[in-house]
């Protein structure tokens, strides 16, 4: 029970702190769209080859800031927008829980590409989560050249700030809320 309490505290500490009703979370708000564009630009600066994923995927989810922390148990949380064929169609939240050797905290950006409509529909239905077997590619010059879809998705991250040492297992869960 003590570990569960610590995990809940870490997840709360990692939260990006947006009020669900705030205009910043609205899919059509200028600040959310600007954060997504800044994130896309950061990914393309880190690895220009990622352009093929943005151009060729059926859709993608962009998380502009995921906060992550851990001390034996850990957690992460981030908000993002989901795009289908280039158009924002919904809001999403990422929640992660991990257990294992880990210490520190960091923030990062994450993008999940969906190869086809089926993969995106699975995400939008709420039946999508990653497991310890799913791995994100760290965006760096040339990293996307060898990256490919696995089970219809490709996941990339790029760091913002902080440092974390980690050898843990866990998974990410996602929520989806369609834009009005």
Residue 20 region by backbone torsions, left for phi larger than 0, else alpha for psi between -120 and 50, else beta: alpha
Asked if residue 115 lies in contact with residue 53, where contact means CB atoms within 8 angstroms, the answer is: no
Domain boundaries, the chain: 2-178
Using DSSP, state whether 142 is helix, strand or coil. coil
Residue with tokens 């529909």: 121
pTM over 0.75: yes
Tens of pLDDT, residues 127-175: 777 754 355 666 666 677 778 888 899 888 888 865 555 555 667 889 9
Residue with tokens 């409509």: 117
């Amino acid at each position: 029970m003590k570990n569960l309490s610590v995990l809940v505290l870490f997840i709360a500490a990692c939260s990006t702190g947006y009020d669900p009703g705030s205009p910043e979370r609205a899919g059509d708000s200028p600040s959310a769209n600007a954060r997504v564009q800044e994130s896309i630009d950061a990914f393309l600066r880190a690895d220009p080859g990622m352009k093929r994923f943005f151009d060729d995927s059926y859709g993608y989810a962009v998380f502009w800031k995921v906060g992550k922390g851990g001390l034996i148990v850990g957690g992460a949380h981030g908000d993002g927008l989901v795009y289908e064929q280039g158009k924002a169609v919904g809001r999403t939240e990422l929640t992660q829980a991990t257990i294992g050797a880990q210490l520190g905290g960091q923030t990062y950006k994450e993008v999940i590409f969906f190869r086809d409509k089926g993969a995106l529909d699975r995400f939008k239905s709420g039946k999508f989560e990653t497991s310890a077997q799913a791995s994100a590619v760290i965006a760096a010059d040339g990293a996307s050249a060898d990256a490919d879809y696995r089970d219809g998705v490709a996941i990339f991250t790029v760091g913002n700030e902080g440092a974390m040492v980690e050898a843990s297992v866990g998974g990410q869960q996602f929520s989806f809320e369609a834009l009005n």
